[in-house]
Structure 1
Amino acid sequence: MKKSLLGLHLLLVIMLSNFILAQKATAPKFLGNIEGIKEYSLINGMKLLLIPDGSQSNMVVNIVYNVGSKDEGYGEKGMAHLLEHMLFKSTKNMGDIKKQLSDKGGAANGTTYYDRTNYYEIFPSNDENLKWAIQMEADRMINATILQSDLDKEFSVVRNEFEIGENQPSGVLMEKVFSTAYTWHNYGNSTIGSKEDIERVKAPTLRKFYEKYYQPDNATLIIAGKFDETNALKYVGEYFSTLPKPTRALGGTYTVEPSQDGEKLIELNRTGESKIVAAAYHTAAYADKDYAALAALSEILTSNPSGYLYKNLVETHKVSSIWAYSPEVRDPGMMYINFDVAKDKDLETTKNLVKTELDKISGLKYTEEDLARAKSKLLKQIEDSKNNTINFAINLTEIIGAGDYKLAYLYRDNVENLKLADIKRVAEKYFKSNNRTIGLFIPTSNETRVQPAEFRADQIAALTQNYKGKALEKDIAPFEASIANLKKNLTEGALSNGMKYGLISKEVKGDKVMANFKMLLGNEKDLAGKNEIGSLTAELLNAGTKTKTKEQIQDRLDQLKSSISTRIMGQNLLISVNTYKNNYPEVMEILKDMLMNSTFPPNEITKTVTEYNTYLEGQLKDPQAIAQNELQRTASPYPKESVFYTPSLQEEIDNNKKVTRDQIVDYYQNILGANNGFGTVLGNLDAKTAVNSLENTFGKWNAKSKYTEVKPTFFETKKSDKNFLTPDKENAMALGTESFKMNQKSADYPALVLANEILGSGGFLSARLPMRLREKEGISYGVGSFVNIPVSHEVASWGYYALLNPTKRDAVENAVKEEVSKALKDGFTADELVTNKKSYANIQKTMLGMDNTLINLVNKKLQYGVSLDEYDALQSKVQALKLDEVNNALRKYVSLDRITSVYAGDFNKK
């Protein structure tokens, strides 16, 4: 009788559940349009933001849940992040989410932070992808399976991710400082959580957390890019509005961090070479107007080269470098300042020097020039973010977690309206020694303590409910993601000195303009032994010219909301420019000044060498850095004079110290030039204006050294497994490679590309290596394979990588070799062939919707004469492949008998 009653009860529950979920769909209610963001609400409390951008050929679907590490209770540390991983497993109705993401070839991820968790998918724009993404997100909102069997494997993956972070001294130190600074508030807990809680939590406990927070009234769905708005509203109504509003009330968190009543000190003792001093001050929530003033003050204090702290500490060589960070959070947050210290400096002395400068912050005489400079930089960052629609939609995650997406615009308005008095006020209010985590407890009387303002939900609602924003921008012209359309909008030519250029006519949001240039430099004789000289020369091109100081260059670029970056790799000077249509000519003038008139001030050379060497010192015992460095040295043993030579990390440090200003000037005057260069500019520019600027910038900039391509040498790799011990490091790195001869003209090229997709790089964690090591066994957080197939020579390679717990070293080695051996022996399956062909095609379609891909394709054509049609031709060849061709290509070029592997980690751990 009891069984019958139980069965009847379950039947009623199921019927009731089905009835609720089958309630009539309703259309989202339009609430308003804030500067191109169309806001809607659903009857169940869910929010919807649509951000259409016709200039895109991709779209992103991003769902944000207002739950993060802040919401975790006793025994739940890391639960929000662990749940983020689990929601990529499967749902009751949609099945295997990772496989479907892989099949569609989209870019997807999930992230967790203090106040929020999000999941997003980037796909080529079409109705099928739009509908699937919305349906999938609705299903995993309430129907995730959360199986104990999946959790048993995934927790070790999350633990491995935790261990990766434990290898980074700066990250661990920041975590320890935050945990010391916060006495009660959960911002003091690491987002990734407690390793013990991660390992011990059971699926039913995780499900309770999921069922509480993963509900429509706690979520905001964002759809951005190119999509059909009518269909988007239809699908959201169909799949989300039918989900019931839960009867539970979340209530939110209510802990308010009390005023800090004295300086605190935390010391972190771990193996390593680099030294760091850090300081953190309790400051303001993102919704607070003070946040904008503090952001400006942070720039005024730490910016290179104008910051007060930068000038007094970096320029005087007391510290190597400085950076600051203030999370965009819901409750009062922190300003964290990091000072990197050279290996030969005394840390106690440096700490006292840093504290002396920090104590000056509240009393410094800030100027209108300081404020204008900081506002220019902040507004440039805001403008850049807003005009990259896909990234903007993802970046809104943090702002929604902080309370409301409109806070992003209020922050911008607050930055625009900043007055000098605001800077002085926040400097005096927050930058007190008793509000700082770095020092000792000092008893004093009559303390004036800091109590940042609390922002309740009703206060944020009052701030945002009537906000209208600025005038809407014009609609952007669509740009089809196809080679045919790229060719239609491409103009090519050459400057008077022979430099080749390409102009892609494409309207980008905000009239943004992007350009990438590559200058081919020198010859084997002239470049011999000059790798470090070249790297430093490129790094110092912005350090000052005959007409402008480094500070003036940076200030003007910030005012123009633009950036210029330069670096040298081997024979290539790489120049990247990001600007806007109206600013393009002036930015190119600044670049011309850097290329023609650089002065290389001695103090800047010393600072740059110190900063870079301090970074390298931090890599000396890092497993990832060691593995990468040692594999390159082992697999490609070039002589020291070669442009392809890889020095050891310590050798590079020593070489940098030997570089003189005369060597840099000589390299600059004789090696650099544009006459063997090429580059592509993308944007809605008048062709004549664009070409005139290119001619003015590069047309007379010619290298004295004759360019002759230095071809790489083929070194045959041999089977070997080398261990490099890195004591007291929580994470390890495995890396392997083998060399063979092939270029992109080879008949086997398409087949090897697809073979590598199936083996280790294709889809969304669905290739064989990640499926085995991450999904099935949970012994590696990040694992995969790669191929490097050149265009102009035949020195090619295949390789693999894996991040792991040091105790799993043998398990990882065995699993990788078993999977490669199995693929070589038994081959891939017909199903794998079909699935990966589809996902590969979708990935290539997604890539073609990205501006950098378009620029890189044109630059490849300019450098090697490779027709743009080769992009489509490769896709066609891949789709036409037969299973035997793929299996034969793998067997022909990949062999366990030729793989050189290195393992770096603390393999003495038990």
Structure 2
Amino acid sequence: MKKLLLCLSLMVGLSISTSTFAQKTDAPKYLGNVEGVKEYSLNNGMKVLLIPDGSQSNMVVNIVYNVGSKDEGYGEKGMAHLLEHMLFKSTKNLGDIKKQLSDKGGAANGTTYYDRTNYYEIFPSNDENLKWAIQMEADRMINATILQSDLDKEFSVVRNEFEIGENNPSGVLMEKVFSTAYMWHNYGNSTIGSKEDIERVKAPTLRKFYEKYYQPDNATLIIAGKFDEANALKHIAENFSVLPKPTRQLGGTYTVEPAQDGEKTVELNRSGESKLVAAAYHTSAYADKDYAALAALGEILTADPSGYLYKSLVETQKVSSIWVYAPEVRDAGLMYFNFDVPKDKNLEVTKNLVRTELDKIGSIKYNAEDLGRAKSKLLKQIADNKNNTVSFAISLTEIIGAGDYKLAFLYRDNVENLSVADIQRVAEKYFKSNNRTLGVFVPSANETRVQPAEFRPEQIAALTGNYKGKALEKDVAPFEATIANLKKNVTEGVLSNGMKYGLINKEVKGDKIIATFKMLLGNEKDLAGKNEIGKLTAVLLKSGTKTKTKEQIQDRLDQLKSSINTRLYGQNFIISVNTYKNNYAEVMDILKDMVTNSTFPQNEITKTITEQNTNLEGQLKDPEAIAQNELQRLSSPYPKESVFYTASLQEQIDNSKKVTRDQIVNYYQNILGTNNGLGTVLGNIEAKNVVASLENTFGKWNAQSKYAEVKPTYFETKKLDKNFLTPDKENAIALGTESFKMNQKSPDYPAFVLANEILGSGGFLSARLPMRLREKEGISYGVGSFINIPVSNDVASWGYYALLNPTKRNAVESAIKEEVSKALKDGFTADELLTNKKSYANIQKTMLGMDNTLINLVNKKLQYGISLDEYDTLNSKIADLKLDEVNSALRKYLTLDKVTSVYAGDFNKK
């Protein structure tokens, strides 16, 4: 799916000189500290939130504007989102924003929704990056150029993004349901907007929208992670406090959606294999206490396997899956239910069954067990989010849009204080047939209609004004994001059965513990033809054990604010654990029960196969799924029995239907095991306790099948351009690949990595392919290249991708081939070399500040014996590369004469 200062013309009638700005520097005013979120304000009305976390090595700068699609008028549909794209172009003082973001090597994005727009940058922590990000955000707040020439290119990129969404049946259905549910309020309008408005809007109109809403009194700046607070406040004062407070009054929106007076219905007719039923109910604003009760009720109704709707519809296989969504919005929102329907079910019959079950929501007698289960899951989600500081800072975007950042804490408090009576009350209040979007007008008398409460600004101010939050958490110990420091804090060992482990001593906010385990399984003979069996076995490990039902496992993990996820591909069985220090031992006991005592109930097997097949059926006419699947089949034509064989989408459906419980049990008993495994645990926990738990969980779980690595076969790709038609799909995709022989020990590896960076994957949309197709010609929303260079074999590949309007198929093909040909013929430039070296180094530093990167590096060392120092060694080699080495590597391994390409879309469109 998310992106210096001195302006002489802020709005009509406002003209301020440069010297005036320079004389008006004011320090941010401290307002208070709510659970580690330090709040400040500026005299011009701007709000500032600082969330320091010394355990991070990265920081995020996130600015939120209180403007979204809700604020768009007639002819302006999609303007907020289009403006978000334009603000990545250039400013009067800084110039090319994307190039500078690319040079910095961080992660950046912008997102738009109903109530807000935000822009964020994640960088390695240092004052240079902090100062630049603050300067940049201040500059593009008032000095964006918004050139018609840029808009002429960008509108087609946004249109392509719109078309991508149009390929998703569930997304389009949700959009239609929202639109039908709302008669007057702008929540009924899709954030992506109207394609016609996007195409027709002119730069001067977009500028008026920008000058009205992109002002300090309508913005909240968030800085989170590891940073110097004094310097942050100094930079904010220098760059933002000098901006004058506008004289215009925004006023806000005041439309209140009237009570719905009858069930509505909408029918969507589109090409595709998916069958869906959806229902939406008008509910509450995020600020309303009812929102917490509704969130819990959503879990009580839909959770797998305990939900009432889940049991009545999924458990009985009337639908294959269910999910619920309630946006965190400023005004009264919706609760939306989606039901995926298997291909062989009658849609009309299923719709009536769904309606019947929905009608029971208000009459069900909910109990304390229901509430406890839902609260555990919601509080786990809240804790996980709050204890990931960078993610928390970005997630506050939605809460600020909903009225005030403190609402996030009030929501948590409301969840903690929920009673069964609260659940019963909202179930009876909101879930009436006349408040549902499905049906027709039926005259009747004495209806009790639903009118959600309106929350005016003064009500939210009263809710949040004196809110203090809970006691502050302890400061987390800093952790320097370097290989040298990682080496100091890693302990390695071997369990009694031969499984290798690594322990990273790193304190994480909230005392979180994160672990990833990788088990190497089987051999060519024992795994032959068992791909679908293996994948299903991994998914079903949490479906019940000799001591616990699936429901009991999930309930306990939610109560412990923890998760265990398992997946399998080829010879790799992956287990991911996310928990907390105090709960670690019990979570590992649950994992042990799963891996040693699973029972694989037949009804869970049937449900899982139905759910997976329904998802696959939805992909049978999806361009992206088809292209990925067919390219893999064309470029790697393994025999069907091979562990590397890629089955067609229909084959996957057919194969999974043939899987029996006996096959799953046999795979579980003979193939799975940890004696050829490895794994890393990260957190602040005593090594002896971790080792003891690992030994207890994995030390005696041994596979009967002897492990022998199955080496991939090298298939030389051939020049091929193949079309796959997907009628009535608005978006198309181009994918291509070329195979060659290389591994990460090759002398050419560093040069080829950098060559790919320059060609298609480096920087922030600044590599050659995105610059040509997205920035210059506007014919692709997403375009780039990628490489797959293995460690233990030499079967490597380069590839590219591009999302496009089907009518641009030939233009995209030509542009990609021209750019690759130009790079091969003329080579890259010295400036490109220097710029991408810098951005690559910064990206690697950013990556090293992420816990998953640290875990993956240690696991790589455990599996392949590769020293942690290789991370720095590779970066040093890339930094020392000469231009001719990079150009030579590109020409040695890449040629258009061997690129296999597939194009999937409705290419009959005119």
TM-score by length of 2: 0.99
Aligned partner of 1:75: which letter? G
CA-CA distance at 1:13 after TM superposition: 9.4
Residue 283 of structure 1 contacts residue 430 of structure 1 at CA under 8 Å; is this kept in 2?
yes
CA-CA distance at 1:650 after TM superposition: 0.4
CA-CA distance at 1:218 after TM superposition: 0.1
Q: Hey, what's the Cα distance between the residues in 2 that align with 1:805 and 1:855?
A: 39
**Partner residue, 1:265:** 265
Aligned partner of 2:391: which letter? N
Residue 565 of structure 1 contacts residue 575 of structure 1 at CA under 8 Å; is this kept in 2?
yes
Distance 1:449 1:694, change over 3 A: same
**Partner residue, 2:662:** 662
**Partner residue, 2:603:** 603
Report whether the alignment pairs 1:331 with 2:347. Answer: no
Report whether the alignment pairs 1:298 with 2:293. Answer: no
Equivalent positions of 1:76-475 (< 5 A) are: 76-475=76-475
CA-CA distance at 1:14 after TM superposition: 10
Give the secondary-structure state (helix, strand or coil) at the position aligned to 1:448: coil
Residue 20 of structure 1 contacts residue 244 of structure 1 at CA under 8 Å; is this kept in 2?
no
**Partner residue, 2:589:** 589
Q: Hey, what's the Cα distance between the residues in 2 that align with 1:25 and 1:687?
A: 51
Q: Hey, what's the Cα distance between the residues in 2 that align with 1:14 and 1:38?
A: 32
Q: Hey, what's the Cα distance between the residues in 2 that align with 1:548 and 1:655?
A: 30
After superposition, the C-alpha distances for 1:73-122 in whole angstroms (9 at most, x for unaligned) are 00000000000000000000011000000000010000000000000000
Residue 9 of structure 2 contacts residue 15 of structure 2 at CA under 8 Å; is this kept in 1?
no
Distance 1:741 1:458, change over 3 A: same
**Partner residue, 1:793:** 793
**Partner residue, 1:38:** 38
Aligned partner of 2:43: which letter? I
Distance 1:178 1:16, change over 3 A: closer
**Partner residue, 1:754:** 754
Distance 1:22 1:14, change over 3 A: farther
Q: Hey, what's the Cα distance between the residues in 2 that align with 1:543 and 1:338?
A: 23
CA-CA distance at 1:16 after TM superposition: 3.9
Q: Hey, what's the Cα distance between the residues in 1 that align with 2:15 and 2:225?
A: 39
Aligned partner of 2:700: which letter? K
CA-CA distance at 1:419 after TM superposition: 0.5
After superposition, the C-alpha distances for 1:657-695 in whole angstroms (9 at most, x for unaligned) are 000000000000000000000000000010000000000
Give the secondary-structure state (helix, strand or coil) at the position aligned to 1:276: strand
**Partner residue, 1:4:** none
Q: Hey, what's the Cα distance between the residues in 2 that align with 1:291 and 1:177?
A: 20
Report whether the alignment pairs 1:538 with 2:501. Answer: no
Report whether the alignment pairs 1:829 with 2:829. Answer: yes
Distance 1:9 1:163, change over 3 A: closer
**Partner residue, 1:652:** 652
Q: Hey, what's the Cα distance between the residues in 2 that align with 1:654 and 1:788?
A: 30
After superposition, the C-alpha distances for 1:263-317 in whole angstroms (9 at most, x for unaligned) are 0000000000010000000000000000000000000000000000000000000
Unmatched segments (≥5 aa) in structure 2: 1-7
Residue 623 of structure 1 contacts residue 904 of structure 1 at CA under 8 Å; is this kept in 2?
yes
**Partner residue, 1:876:** 876
Residue 26 of structure 1 contacts residue 237 of structure 1 at CA under 8 Å; is this kept in 2?
yes
Report whether the alignment pairs 1:482 with 2:482. Answer: yes
Q: Hey, what's the Cα distance between the residues in 1 that align with 2:33 and 2:903?
A: 54
After superposition, the C-alpha distances for 1:679-733 in whole angstroms (9 at most, x for unaligned) are 0000001000000000000000000000000000000000000000000000000
Q: Hey, what's the Cα distance between the residues in 2 that align with 1:863 and 1:381?
A: 32
Give the secondary-structure state (helix, strand or coil) at the position aligned to 1:384: helix
CA-CA distance at 1:9 after TM superposition: 13
Aligned partner of 2:627: which letter? A
CA-CA distance at 1:152 after TM superposition: 0.1
**Partner residue, 1:558:** 558
Give the secondary-structure state (helix, strand or coil) at the position aligned to 1:481: coil
Give the secondary-structure state (helix, strand or coil) at the position aligned to 2:339: strand
Aligned partner of 1:190: which letter? S
Give the secondary-structure state (helix, strand or coil) at the position aligned to 2:738: strand
After superposition, the C-alpha distances for 1:721-769 in whole angstroms (9 at most, x for unaligned) are 0000000000000000000000000000000000000000000000000
Q: Hey, what's the Cα distance between the residues in 2 that align with 1:97 and 1:598?
A: 53
CA-CA distance at 1:655 after TM superposition: 0.3
**Partner residue, 1:5:** none
Residue 20 of structure 1 contacts residue 243 of structure 1 at CA under 8 Å; is this kept in 2?
no
Give the secondary-structure state (helix, strand or coil) at the position aligned to 1:449: coil
Report whether the alignment pairs 1:51 with 2:69. Answer: no
After superposition, the C-alpha distances for 1:408-457 in whole angstroms (9 at most, x for unaligned) are 00000000000000000000000000000012221111111000000000
Q: Hey, what's the Cα distance between the residues in 2 that align with 1:794 and 1:678?
A: 23
Residue 359 of structure 2 contacts residue 432 of structure 2 at CA under 8 Å; is this kept in 1?
yes
CA-CA distance at 1:17 after TM superposition: 3.0
Give the secondary-structure state (helix, strand or coil) at the position aligned to 1:437: coil
Distance 1:779 1:15, change over 3 A: closer
**Partner residue, 2:3:** none
After superposition, the C-alpha distances for 1:788-823 in whole angstroms (9 at most, x for unaligned) are 000000000000000000000000000000000000
Equivalent positions of 1:586-735 (< 5 A) are: 586-735=586-735
Q: Hey, what's the Cα distance between the residues in 2 that align with 1:867 and 1:95?
A: 42
Residue 99 of structure 1 contacts residue 766 of structure 1 at CA under 8 Å; is this kept in 2?
yes
CA-CA distance at 1:22 after TM superposition: 2.8
CA-CA distance at 1:217 after TM superposition: 0.2
Q: Hey, what's the Cα distance between the residues in 2 that align with 1:570 and 1:440?
A: 51
After superposition, the C-alpha distances for 1:486-535 in whole angstroms (9 at most, x for unaligned) are 00000000000000000000000000000000000000000000000000
Q: Hey, what's the Cα distance between the residues in 2 that align with 1:385 and 1:872?
A: 31
Give the secondary-structure state (helix, strand or coil) at the position aligned to 1:540: helix
Residue 592 of structure 1 contacts residue 698 of structure 1 at CA under 8 Å; is this kept in 2?
yes
Q: Hey, what's the Cα distance between the residues in 2 that align with 1:509 and 1:548?
A: 31
Q: Hey, what's the Cα distance between the residues in 1 that align with 2:627 and 2:615?
A: 17
Q: Hey, what's the Cα distance between the residues in 2 that align with 1:490 and 1:588?
A: 21
Give the secondary-structure state (helix, strand or coil) at the position aligned to 2:316: coil
Give the secondary-structure state (helix, strand or coil) at the position aligned to 2:781: strand
Q: Hey, what's the Cα distance between the residues in 2 that align with 1:15 and 1:266?
A: 50
Aligned partner of 1:529: which letter? G
Q: Hey, what's the Cα distance between the residues in 1 that align with 2:605 and 2:629?
A: 25
**Partner residue, 2:528:** 528
Q: Hey, what's the Cα distance between the residues in 2 that align with 1:14 and 1:885?
A: 55
**Partner residue, 1:3:** none
Q: Hey, what's the Cα distance between the residues in 2 that align with 1:787 and 1:271?
A: 34
Give the secondary-structure state (helix, strand or coil) at the position aligned to 1:746: coil
Aligned partner of 1:870: which letter? E
Give the secondary-structure state (helix, strand or coil) at the position aligned to 2:450: coil
Give percent identity, aligned residues only: 85
Aligned partner of 1:649: which letter? L
Give the secondary-structure state (helix, strand or coil) at the position aligned to 1:84: helix
Aligned partner of 2:487: which letter? K
Give the secondary-structure state (helix, strand or coil) at the position aligned to 2:17: helix
**Partner residue, 2:811:** 811
